[in-house]
């Protein structure tokens, strides 16, 4: 029986990161992957969908620049061309990972890669069921479970990945569908609604059972994304319950019921289920290792990434925590360090996790938002600066969006979170993520000298507003600049002497004959 210092189950982003970090410690590693090296991080997941989004965004930008009449005459793209672009991107990334793995193996002899299904025999013995039908049992002193997740389905709805699909099938269609219903109005559902409506070849329906789309985000973000989806022809079934969805004559028939009890039957060509993901635990025989499960996935105890069995760790989607590539990779590297380092290891700080929502406009996020803080009853202060007041956004002619920074409701004004919505927003969040990690306040952000003209100047103006020394005063541009506090009990209170400045604003407006939009 071959013996290893570490067995990594799953060759996705988290598993691959774990294996490579163990190499740094000179450990003998076996990496076992069921399907494709790179996992959902490459195939039918983050890389593939974001490649499609980038292409759809460029297409829509050109379409909007040309105008509808000229665009219809001069722009044409096929779904085969979209798939070719996606395939090129996934091949490039797969080629990098494969070549890197082979070279590391050749140079160090520390890593072994096996394709097959891994399952526990005991807590330190793992069986590999290989594609050729052969089986092998290996011994590992330590194990990291990074088996990932798969799209969630709905009981009673038959998914064939051709007519009724999940994210595993949606990018393998033969052509743009004439019509598509998306079940689930969370981030992934809204991203696919954005992509297909960007191309303008598919009538998209989005079923939203909550009061609004993106229910986990603040209402101002939901509104701006909804407005753009509707503008691009998306029908949002608000406050609607899916009664049934089924194939009929090679297409889809679905029935919904709104909050008034009214029902409607609609026929479309394709359907996409986008209602979250479930961890891949079925093949693991995890009970043989004595590892406990939670309702969400593999149970993580008081110590981050470690299960109840001290030498077995779980990272990434398998734990049911935060299903993000960057989180999975961070957890994986952290688990390896905890296993093998000869120095104290600090717990992972999840307070400054950042992510991007590929919508129209792009939404970049880090830390808390108003929804999460209000649910916890935590008082906070917030400043919001509209893109239309930022010089770079004006120069780009891309003034739809805003920055919003949330801080503690005290003199320290420690940063709790930020949302950036609009062009270049994804480039703005890391400095705030660092400040959250360092538990710093807005003073540091306000006193930095940001490049000009740049979008990130909007962050600095948010900080200045909270400190009461912004260049533009919130009472003058009341619809574009907002600064207020939440008392933790449902009450909102304006900051920065709003009432006094209102008098001045009305006087100026009267003198120069301007209106609110001016």
Q: What is d(CA 518, CA 511) in angstroms, rounded to the nearest whole number?
A: 13
DSSP 364-431: EEEE--HHHHHHHT--EEEEEEEGGG-HHHHHHT----EEEEEEESSTT-BEEEEEEESTTGGGSHHH
Q: What is d(CA 458, CA 451) in angstroms, rounded to the nearest whole number?
A: 11
Cross-sheet strand order for the sheet of 415-421: 354-357, 363-367, 415-421, 402-408, 380-386, 481-486, 492-494
Residues 230 and 130 in one domain: no
Query: Each residue of 294-325: pLDDT tens digit?
Result: 988 999 877 789 999 999 999 999 988 888 99
Determine, yes or no, domain membership for 78. no
Residues 383 and 490 in one domain: yes
Between β-strands 415-421 and 402-408, what pairing exists: parallel, antiparallel or unpaired?
antiparallel
Residues 9 and 96 in one domain: yes
What is the rounded average pLDDT for all residues in the chain? 92
Q: What is d(CA 133, CA 304) in angstroms, rounded to the nearest whole number?
A: 36
Which segments of 135-241 does DSSP mark as H helices, in order?
A: 187-199, 219-231
Which domain CATH number covers 419? Answer: 3.30.390.30
Number of structural domains in the chain: 3
At 324 the three-state DSSP class reads coil
Determine, yes or no, domain membership for 128. yes
Residue 509's pLDDT is what?
A: 53
Asked if the model's pLDDT at residue 517 lies above 50, the reply is no
Domain boundary among 318, 340, 362: 340
Residues 27 and 143 in one domain: yes
Least Cα distance to 371 among 421, 420, 406, 342 occurs for 406
Q: What is d(CA 250, CA 271) in angstroms, rounded to the nearest whole number?
A: 11
Residue 479's pLDDT is what?
A: 86
Residues 142 and 283 in one domain: yes
Residues 181 and 218 in one domain: yes
Residues 143 and 173 in one domain: no
Between β-strands 125-129 and 117-120, what pairing exists: parallel, antiparallel or unpaired?
antiparallel
Between β-strands 312-314 and 380-386, what pairing exists: parallel, antiparallel or unpaired?
unpaired
Q: Which residue has the tokens 């933790």?
A: 488
How long, in residues, is the chain?
A: 518
Q: Taking the CB of residue 226, how many other CB atoms lie within 10 A of it? A: 20
Asked if the model's pLDDT at residue 331 lies above 90, the reply is yes
Residues 239 and 306 in one domain: no
Asked if the model's pLDDT at residue 98 lies above 90, the reply is yes
Backbone torsion region of residue 439, taken as left when φ is above 0, otherwise alpha when ψ lies between -120 and 50, otherwise beta: left
Residues 365 and 326 in one domain: no
Residue 419's pLDDT is what?
A: 97
> What is the separation, in whole angstroms, between the first and last Cα of the chain?
77
Determine, yes or no, domain membership for 58. no
Residues 375 and 282 in one domain: no
Determine, yes or no, domain membership for 431. yes
Determine, yes or no, domain membership for 73. no
Asked if the model's pLDDT at residue 427 lies above 90, the reply is no
Determine, yes or no, domain membership for 140. yes
Residues 329 and 248 in one domain: no
Asked if the model's pLDDT at residue 516 lies above 50, the reply is no
DSSP letter for 47, please: H
Residue 506's pLDDT is what?
A: 54
Residue 70's pLDDT is what?
A: 77
Domain containing 26 equals 3-44+83-151+278-340
**Taking CA 250 as the corner, what is the angle to CA 197 and CA 168, rounded to the nearest 5 degrees?**
55
User: Where is average pLDDT lowest: 142-151, 354-363, 477-486?
Assistant: 477-486
Query: Each residue of 211-240: pLDDT tens digit?
Result: 999 999 999 999 999 999 999 999 999 999
Of the pLDDT bands very low, low, confident and very high (cuts 50, 70, 90), residue 29 is very high
Asked if the model's pLDDT at residue 106 lies above 60, the reply is yes
- Distances in Å between the Cα of 402 and the Cα atoms of 19, 406, 425, 429, 442 are 40, 13, 9, 13, 17
Determine, yes or no, domain membership for 66. no
At 323 the three-state DSSP class reads coil
Which domain CATH number covers 102? Answer: 3.50.50.60
Least Cα distance to 108 among 30, 33, 28 occurs for 28
Backbone torsion region of residue 191, taken as left when φ is above 0, otherwise alpha when ψ lies between -120 and 50, otherwise beta: alpha
Q: Which residues contact 146 (CB under 8 A, 6 or more apart)?
A: 8, 9, 10, 12, 14, 15, 18, 314, 315, 316, 318, 328, 332
Q: What is d(CA 80, CA 87) in angstroms, rounded to the nearest whole number?
A: 10
- Report yes or no: 25 and 1 within 8 Å, Cβ to Cβ: no
Query: Each residue of 148-169: pLDDT tens digit?
Result: 999 999 999 999 999 999 999 9
At 214 the three-state DSSP class reads coil
Q: What percent of the chain has pLDDT over 70?
A: 95
């Amino acid at each position: 029986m071959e013996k290893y210092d570490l067995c990594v189950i799953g060759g996705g982003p988290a598993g691959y990161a774990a294996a490579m970090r163990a190499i740094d410690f000179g450990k003998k590693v076996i990496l076992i992957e069921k399907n494709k090296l790179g996992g959902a991080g490459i195939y039918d997941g983050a890389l593939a969908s974001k490649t499609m989004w980038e292409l759809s965004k460029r297409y829509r930008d050109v379409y909007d620049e040309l105008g509808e009449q000229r665009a219809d005459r001069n722009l044409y793209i096929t779904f085969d061309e979209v798939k070719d672009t996606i395939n090129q991107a996934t091949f490039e990334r797969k080629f990098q990972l494969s070549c890197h793995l082979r070279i590391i193996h050749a140079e160090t002899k520390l890593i072994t890669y096996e394709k097959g299904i891994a399952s526990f025999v005991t807590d330190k013995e793992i069986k590999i069921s290989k594609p050729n039908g052969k089986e092998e049992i290996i011994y590992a002193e330590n194990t990291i479970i990074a088996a990932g997740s798969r799209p969630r389905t709905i009981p009673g709805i038959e998914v064939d990945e051709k007519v009724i699909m999940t994210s595993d099938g949606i990018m393998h269609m033969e052509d743009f569908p004439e019509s598509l219903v998306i079940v689930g109005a969370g981030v992934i559902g809204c991203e696919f609604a954005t992509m297909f409506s960007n191309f303008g070849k598919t009538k998209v329906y989005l079923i939203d059972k909550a009061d609004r789309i993106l229910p986990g985000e603040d209402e101002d973000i939901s509104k701006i994304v909804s407005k753009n989806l509707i503008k691009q022809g998306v029908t949002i079934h608000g406050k609607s319950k899916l009664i049934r969805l089924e194939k009929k004559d090679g297409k889809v028939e679905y029935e919904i019921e709104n909050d008034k009890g009214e029902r409607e039957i609609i026929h479309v060509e394709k359907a996409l289920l986008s209602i979250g993901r479930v961890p891949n635990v079925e093949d693991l025989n995890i009970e043989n290792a004595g590892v406990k499960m939670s309702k969400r996935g593999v149970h993580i105890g008081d110590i981050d990434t470690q299960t109840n069995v001290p030498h077995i760790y779980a990272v990434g989607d398998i734990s049911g925590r935060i299903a993000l590539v960057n989180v999975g990779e961070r957890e994986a590297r952290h688990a390896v360090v905890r296993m093998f380092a000869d120095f104290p290891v600090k717990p992972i700080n999840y307070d400054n996790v950042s992510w991007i929502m590929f919508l129209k406009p792009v939404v970049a996020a880090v830390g808390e938002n108003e929804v999460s803080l209000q649910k916890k009853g935590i008082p906070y202060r917030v400043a919001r600066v509209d893109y239309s007041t930022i010089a770079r956004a004006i120069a780009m002619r891309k003034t739809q969006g805003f920055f919003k920074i949330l801080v503690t409701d005290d003199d320290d004004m420690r940063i709790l979170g930020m949302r950036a919505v609009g062009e270049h927003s994804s480039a703005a969040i890391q400095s705030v993520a660092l400040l959250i990690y360092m538990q710093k306040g807005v003073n540091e952000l306000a006193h930095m000298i940001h490049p000009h003209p740049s979008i990130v100047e909007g962050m600095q103006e948010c900080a200045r507003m909270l400190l009461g020394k912004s260049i533009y005063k919130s009472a003058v541009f009341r619809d574009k600049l907002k600064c207020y506090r939440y008392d933790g009990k449902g009450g909102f209170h304006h900051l920065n002497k709003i009432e006094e400045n209102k008098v001045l604003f009305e006087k100026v407006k009267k003198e120069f004959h301007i209106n609110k939009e001016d």
